[in-house]
Amino acid sequence: MGTQYSLFFIQRFKGKVLFNVPMSDHTSFGIGGSADVMAFPQDDGDLKELLNFAESKRFKYYVLGGGSNVLVRDGGFRGIVMNMADGFGEITWIDDTRAVVGVGVKLSRLLNECLKRGLGGVEFVAGIPGTVGGAVIMNAGAYGFEMKNTVEGVEFVGRKGKRGFMPSAEIGFEYRKSDMPKGTVAVRVHMSFTKKDPEEMRELIESYRHRRKATSMVGYPNAGSIFMNPEGRIAGRLIDEAGLKGLRCGDAVVSEVHANYIINTGKATAHDVLSLMATIRDRVYRSKGVLLEPEIKIIGEV
């Protein structure tokens, strides 16, 4: 399919464009077939061109952040992967407590900026990989806090390059998801923080990092939590109580450290992971009466 894209990108696109890209190189799982095209938009204009082109040609597209919460099937992705990690990396401070943050900004960088300024609200992201955009779209959270608590609104580019702004109250944040309008791509997040003592922040950040290290340092490529926590329950505990730690399908294994992590111990395929997920759901449902729902995004062709 590469030839169908080449002329367009050479003429109009400022960012980098790659063809037949192994998605295993762009996900924390290290798994996935090739995408036909991976484009790295640098600004709103690039994104407008991408969306217009994809719509006019009826090509599928997927918006990728840090690739830390996605499983790409072994058949790859037939269409355009819009990788937001190279562009949209600016942080613009509006005043002492408010900023406009590009979706490509890494969570670690945002946390460091807030720490330097003595601004609390995102300490819980300590040790979480990925970008601000991905964290907001999935409403990432931990230790009783969620991204939605700091979001005032989101700037987006939509169909035909239309730009817009959606306030937080209209985004429809829920547990591990949001409800941005179909066909729109978030580009910047308006965020509000609270003044806080930097030393107190450091202690809290360190405690979060220690807790995450104790439960999440599984030693192999992974995509973080595989399943969402059912209401009032903890997915990892349900999986552990079902006796599934160490369960294997090919090179995909339920972590002995954190039961809600599936690790890639070598050359795991998406088929291995999906088969293991199906077994976990079945065993947990039969033993606990709870049907687990995936937290990771699953895309691509079988």
d(CA 103, CA 236): 29
Q: Of residues 78, 98, 176, 283, which has the active-site annotation?
A: 176
Query: Can 123 be counted among the known catalytic residues?
Result: no
Q: Of residues 24, 34, 68, 225, which has the active-site annotation?
A: 225
Q: Which run of H or E residues covers position 264?
A: strand 262-264
Q: Of residues 49, 146, 155, 295, which has the active-site annotation?
A: 295
Contacts 24+ apart (CB under 8 A), 196-203: 196/118, 196/119, 196/120, 197/118, 198/115, 198/116, 198/118, 201/114, 201/115, 201/118, 201/120, 201/123, 202/115
Query: Can 176 be counted among the known catalytic residues?
Result: yes
| Among 253, 254, 247, CA closest to 266 | 253
Q: Residue 272's Cα: distance from chain center in Å?
A: 21
Parallel, antiparallel or unpaired: strands 151-157 and 98-102: unpaired
Query: Can 108 be counted among the known catalytic residues?
Result: no
Active site residues: 176, 225, 295
